[in-house]
Amino acid sequence: IMFNAASIHDILQNSRHYGFDTRFTFNLPQLVERRDKYIRRLNDIYRNNLKNDNVEVYEGTASLLSERKVLIKSKNATGNDDKNNEIIEGKNILIAVGNAPVFPPVKGVEHTISSDEFFDIKEAKRIGIIGSGYIAVELINVIKRLGIESYIFARGKRLLRKFDESIVSELENDMKKNNINIITMANVEEIEKVHDKNLTIYLNDGRKFENLDYVIYCVGRSPNTKSLNLEKLNITTKDDYIIVDDNQRTNLKNVFAVGDCCMVKKGKELEDLNLLKLYNEQVYLNNKKNDTGDSFYNVQLTPVAINAGRLLADRMFLNKTRKTNYSLIPTVIFSHPPIGTIGLSEEEAINTYGKENVKIYESKFTNLFFSVYDMDPSQKEKTYIKLVCVGKEELIKGLHIIGLNADEIIQGFAVALKMNATKKDFDETIPIHPTAAEEFVTLHPWMSK
């Protein structure tokens, strides 16, 4: 919803190029009210669905007593009061507790908020976001278009350090054109609250940024597993993530986990993932080994959790065998312009297969939507696309796009890559004209490197 609001801002602001005389004002509190009303309605739908399916809902804090029993401490209980606590028992236990924002041990961190509290903001003039991942990038682009002076602080030399470098370069250029302040090599030393009101960020190199209404930390998330009593049941974990096999089963036969709270131990049928190395902020393949030499991967995306949960239910109750396939998962960053990506970046492909075995096709153009904009062509928003091909057959191992409607374009190409499409397959596809998506199937040899 916030992404849509920011997109509407861009359309209204530039509608004069299409002959519309549009004067507009923006009412953030009204948007917040309508957004929250929609979310409440959505939550009510989920609650009613559970009720209609005769699912009992217990509200409280859960901890495991055994691989078949769960203790639920009522949310209304205080101290050692356990009269409202309940113990429920079942054949299996499924853990799907998600994760929560992480706050680093920085002086003054108590004055900051997380990405979750961002949605409570109703008014601000200046906001700083600490972090360079996809959540930070999405929020800062929305914040700027809501009329708020915006600063994003990246610890390294660029944003989205695990994404394709060319794509990120295009994004940073667009952000700078829209007056978003990108502060790189920013190691935060302190956040100070001045006169019980505004905030100041101090960096360790002496730079400081004053008069911020809010500072939002977006430096990662951690699984909500600490209260589950996992260690007493000897359930295997890694950095608080629950370790499961490709059936979503823990080391206890009747305890399962899905979603952002777990990491999947790689099995033989997933060895192809060793070659893919999907290192990006959302599709994260953790190749670090533990003391036993095992390696794990963790994909923190809502559709992945839904898929894993549905297939687990199918295996449990319908005697089906299909498991979640974690290879070639498409990812979208809802920035402005949006980014769509699937598979290997150029850098990852070269590191994996060798530069001599990798061929890159790329194109940069102005979307037809911006053709009538009365401005210097160099200032018009560009669309940039890239194909990462491997081997003599030019198997497409990566596909990347930044530009208008990239979020909608990427899904169809994800199917093509899952089916092992080659550059020849793309070349033999008749394009739909005039669209931005057609550029992927009209990339000529002289567009390669």
Catalytic residues: 433
Question: What type of residue is 407?
Answer: D
The contacts found for 174-180 with CB under 8 angstroms, 24 or more apart, are 174/336, 174/337, 174/381, 175/140, 175/141, 175/335, 177/379, 178/141, 178/144, 178/145, 178/336, 179/144, 179/150, 180/140, 180/141, 180/144, 180/150, 180/151, 180/152
Integer angstrom CA distances of residue 95 from 10, 20, 89, 90, 284: 41, 53, 14, 13, 21
Task: Map the chain to HEC letters.
Answer: CHHHHHHHHHHHHCHHHHCCCCCCCCCHHHHHHHHHHHHHHHHHHHHHHHHHCCCCCCCEEEEECCCCEEEEEECCCCCCCCCCCEEEECCCEEECCCEEECCCCCECHHHCEECCHHHHCCCCCEEEEECCCHHHHHHHHHHHHCCCEEEEECCCCCCCCCCCHHHHHHHHHHHHHCCCEEECCCCEEEEEEECCCEEEEEECCCCEEEEECEEEECCCEEECCHHHCCHHHCCCEECCEEEECCCCECCCCCEEECHHHEEEECCHHHCCHHHHCCECCCEECCCCECCCCCEEEEECCHHHHHHHHHHHHHHHHCCCCCCCCCCCCCEEECCCCCEEEEECCHHHHHHHHCHHHEEEEEEEEECHHHCCCCCCHHHCCEEEEEEEEECCCCEEEEEEEECCCHHHHHHHHHHHHHCCCEHHHHHCCCCCCCCCHHHHHCCCHHHEC
Question: What type of residue is 223?
Answer: P
